[in-house]
Amino acid sequence: MDRYKYAIYDALYDLAGERNISIYKLLLKSNTPDVTSPVDNSVIMNPNFETQVTYDYRLAHELSHILYGDHEAQAVYQFSEYGHF
């Protein structure tokens, strides 16, 4: 990883720490997407998830559900590069 990628990665983990958001890395099946639980203030990232979307982008996406999502409408969010319909 180059220095730029480390900066993004570190900034996301710093942001999560500042907001008391737990990030867990679990090695799951390749078709299992990342998931967020706003109720628990936690994100589960699956490094094995097969997608063209970068890990950093996926992590930022999941963090945004906790920071800006509608927590009453949905208790759990899963990563989708196409959004949820």
What is the full per-residue pLDDT of the chain (85 aa) written as tens digits? 566 667 899 999 999 999 999 999 999 999 999 999 988 999 999 999 999 999 999 999 999 999 988 766 666 666 665 544 3
- What lies within 8 Å, CB to CB, of 22 at 6+ separation is 16, 40, 41, 42, 43
pLDDT at res. 63: 95
The pLDDT of residue 3: 67
> What's the CA gap between 56 and 40, in Å, rounded?
21
List, for residues 15-30, the tens digit of each pLDDT value. 999 999 999 999 999 9
β partners of residue 44:
24, 35
What's the confidence (pLDDT) of residue 16?
98
Tell me which H or E stretch contains 24.
strand 22-25
